[in-house]
């Protein structure tokens, strides 16, 4: 009886945790249209992904007005 | 790789429609099509909230699942885009989308629907970056210029945040922890004196 209870608990825990798995980001269906350029492939970044990511990260962080206010105080 | 998302902070949104206007202007969106719009609940009553809504670039997008011509794709950054050359304007994506993001311009007399149009996260579409063709079909590609969507960058109260999900979640979390919760964040005591509780203000109901 004890064994059955513990097995049920383990199964329940596995099912419970299964709900936490993240859905795959890759599209499940095929795409039939034209291929798109990478965002960093244009004239500005010339394929330099790291530079492009850095530019976006700086812009994103700039939305944090608490950080901006603290920087202005100093 | 970054996963691009939007967060709208309903406590900060002042319903100015700056995001809607910025989007319209940036992409010269045609009359009758709203890639972004504001939704207000409890309008005119204490506790009113507004939220800016557009395509949320879902991780598991239902529009992609229902499209009969497979015109949707997802970029490396997690932005959901579509090919207008392939779209047949059937409207399935509109029915599938929980945010009402897909829009259909009127393409002629008798209510004929055109090809679907929606928020592109300011990252254009399947055309060469920054070309006139891309601009005509999908609008400006700000992401290729290293910029964030115009709606978020234009937001005066920074209610609308855009960017890597992890980073903007951290910004939002810091805000929530700093400002507290409930009535106190409305600033009742600063505006009218007395307690910070809405219930204590004249005519205020909890």
Task: Tell me the pLDDT tens digit for each residue of B123-179.
Answer: 999 999 999 999 999 999 999 999 999 999 999 999 999 999 999 999 999 998 888
| A38: chain B residues, CB-CB within 8 Å | 76
Mean pLDDT of B85-94: 94
CB B36 within 8 A of CB B19: yes
Q: How far is B162 from chain A (nearest CA, A)?
A: 7
* pLDDT above 90 (res B40): yes
Confidence (pLDDT) at A1: 78
First CA to last CA distance, chain B: 44
**Residues across chain B:** 206
**Which of B61 and B194 is assigned the larger pLDDT?**
B61
pLDDT bracket for residue A23 (50, 70, 90): low
Asked casually if ipTM beats, i.e. exceeds, 0.90, the reply is no
**Residue A24 pLDDT exceeds 70:** no
| Mean of pLDDT values over B63-72 | 94
Report the pLDDT value the prediction gives residue A26, as an integer from 0 to 100.
Answer: 60
Tell me how close the Cα of B203 comes to any Cα of chain A, in angstroms: 33
Average pLDDT over every residue of A13-34: 75
- Please give the residue that has the higher pLDDT: either A26 or B170: B170
Rounded alpha-carbon distances, angstroms, from residue B1 to A64, B45, B79, B203: 21, 43, 12, 51
pLDDT score recorded for residue B83:
96
Distance CA B71, CA B38 (A): 27
Size of interface A-B (CB pairs under 8 A): 117
Contact partners, residue B190, CB within 8 Å, separation at least 6 = none
pLDDT of residue B67 exceeding 60: yes
Residue B204 pLDDT: 67
Do residues B97 and B63 touch, judged by C-beta distance below 8 A?
A: yes
Report residue B37's pLDDT band, with 50, 70 and 90 as the boundaries. very high
Listed ranges B44-48, B101-105, B193-197; the one with the highest mean pLDDT: B101-105
Residue B164, SS3? Answer: strand
- Which residue, among A63, A64, A68, would best test binding to B if mutated, counting the most B CBs under 10 Å from its CB? A63
Distances (CA, A) of A17 to A4, A7, A9, B12, B166: 20, 15, 12, 35, 22
Question: What pLDDT score was predicted for residue B136?
Answer: 95
Supply A18's token pair.
């299964």
Would an 8 Å CB–CB cutoff place A5 in contact with chain B?
no
User: What is the distance between the alpha carbons of residues B140 and B122, in angstroms, rounded to a whole number?
Assistant: 6
A65 touches chain B (CB under 8 A): yes
β-strand pairing of B72-74 with B160-164: unpaired
Higher pLDDT, A61 or B197: A61
Nearest to A42 among B78, B130, B164 (CB): B130
> In Å, how far from its chain's centre is CA B146?
19
The confidence score (pLDDT) of residue A25 equals 59
Question: Contact at 8 Å (CB) between B71 and A34?
Answer: no
CB-closest option in A27, A39, A61 to B77? A39
Mean pLDDT along residues B77-100:
95
Chain-chain contact of B162 with A36 (C-beta, under 8 angstroms)? no
Taking the C-alpha atoms of residue A70 and residue B17, their distance in angstroms, rounded to an integer, is 28
Q: pTM here?
A: 0.83
């Amino acid at each position: 009886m004890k064994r059955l209870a513990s097995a049920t608990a383990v199964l329940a825990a596995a099912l419970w945790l299964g709900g936490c798995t993240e859905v795959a980001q890759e599209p499940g269906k095929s795409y039939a249209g034209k291929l798109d350029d990478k965002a960093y492939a244009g004239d500005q970044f010339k394929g330099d992904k790291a530079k492009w990511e850095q530019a976006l990260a700086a812009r994103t962080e700039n939305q944090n007005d608490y950080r901006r206010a603290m920087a202005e105080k100093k | 790789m970054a996963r691009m998302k939007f967060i709208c902070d309903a406590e900060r949104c002042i319903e100015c429609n700056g995001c809607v206007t910025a989007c319209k202007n940036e992409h010269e969106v045609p009359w009758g099509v709203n890639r972004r719009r504001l939704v207000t609940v409890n309008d005119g009553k204490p506790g009113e909230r507004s939220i800016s809504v557009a395509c949320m670039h879902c991780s598991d997008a239902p529009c992609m699942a229902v499209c009969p011509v497979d015109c949707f794709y997802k970029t490396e950054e997690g932005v959901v885009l579509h090919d207008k050359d392939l779209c047949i304007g059937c409207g399935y994506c509109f029915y599938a989308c929980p945010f009402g993001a897909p829009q259909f311009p009127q393409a002629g007399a008798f209510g004929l629907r055109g090809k679907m149009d929606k928020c592109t996260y300011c990252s254009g579409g399947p055309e060469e970056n920054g070309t006139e063709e891309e601009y005509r079909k999908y609008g400006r590609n700000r992401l290729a210029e290293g910029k964030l969507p115009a709606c978020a960058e234009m937001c005066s109260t920074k209610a609308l945040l855009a960017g890597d999900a992890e980073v903007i979640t951290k910004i939002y979390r810091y805000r929530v922890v700093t400002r507290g919760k409930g009535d106190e964040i409305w600033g009742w005591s600063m505006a009218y004196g007395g307690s910070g509780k809405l219930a204590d203000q004249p005519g205020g109901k909890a």
